Structure 1
Amino acid sequence: MRVNIKYTTILFGFVMGGFTSFIISAVLTLVNSGTEDFLTHWIKEWMIALSLAIPIATFVPPIIRRGIAKITEEF
């Protein structure tokens, strides 16, 4: 399956947000809750993290790129 290049930013946000929230929520749930009922707690925490991570991973990178471009321009 091919995705049109105009959807790159949105696709990147979903993939990056998904992977990041998946890993971080698993580690933090394990640290805070231990192994008892881990899967139930982790899925709940992942859904919360995912709802934040996808918009952040989609909309923040372009803002950061513009800011970095401004401070790294030659004078």
Structure 2
Amino acid sequence: MSINYALKKLFDTVEHELERIPQKVRALDKLRLYITGKEKPSRETLDRISLLVGFQDWDSFREALHGKTDGQENYED
């Protein structure tokens, strides 16, 4: 799976979760730059964005894209 595909899916999820809250528009614009390949996100950035949609880190998010896990797994006891 390409990083662009994963970033696009992450962007769509973040956009849905934030429902275009005005103060978050800058973050969405930055993510758009990553998706279009104009900027490359750092690992720290990928981890932070993944946290917004319920995952512990970028690796957990990528595993969920394969259909084996989801964000709820992070909240189970």
Q: Into which bin does the TM-score normalised by the smaller protein fall? A: 0.3 to 0.5
The two structures have a TM-score, normalised by structure 2, of 0.32
The structure with the larger Rg is 1
Greater length-normalized contact order (CA 8 Å, ≥ 6 residues apart): 1
Higher helix proportion (structure 1 or 2): 1
